[in-house]
Amino acid sequence: WRIMRDEAKKPSATVELRPEERRKHARYPFSAAAEVFEPQSNTRVTGRCSDLARGGCFIDAMSPFPVGTSVAIFISFDQKKFEAKGRVVYSQSGMGMGLEFTSVGPDQRWILEQWISELSGQPPAKLKVIETERAPEPDASGNDEPRYVLNELIITLMRKGVLTDKEGKTLLLKLMS
């Protein structure tokens, strides 16, 4: 008896995640129409995006692409379309594929941030258009505060839906020139 009771008190073995299962970004349940395009073979796979993160997504699909395949990703939700370049990092036939975003344009990053903020209940991460495009030149007096204020105002109007993504990006590009 004593041996059995002592055995029962031993802590259970801990399960360690493999490095490829460690995620940099939180995932959120998400349901949206998706299409994944592989340009080498000109093959399209349609499916459903079932979870979303800043770094990638999972697409439910019967015939996913193999691990390592470079793809273009298209996700449609709430009258917005997100597109990015990516790579298949997980694939299971009949189930789907995990995709890592490898290239996301600034306007597409904004759409992704809006979706993530709605899913997480947090305000969107700051849009870093200035850093991704070109830093503004300070005016002759060395005071670039008015530009900074205008930049923040435009981004706020985009977040609130007063300006479309296209209108906001156009204004931000004009502000930087």
Give residue-wise pLDDT tens across range 98-126.
999 999 998 899 999 999 988 887 765 55
C-alpha to C-alpha distance for 157 and 85, rounded to whole angstroms: 28
Give residue-wise pLDDT tens across range 38-90.
999 999 999 999 999 999 999 999 999 999 999 999 999 989 999 999 999 99
**Residue-level pLDDT at 144:** 58
Max mean pLDDT range (60-74, 133-147, 157-171): 60-74
Q: Reply yes or no on whether the pLDDT at 12 is more than 70.
A: no
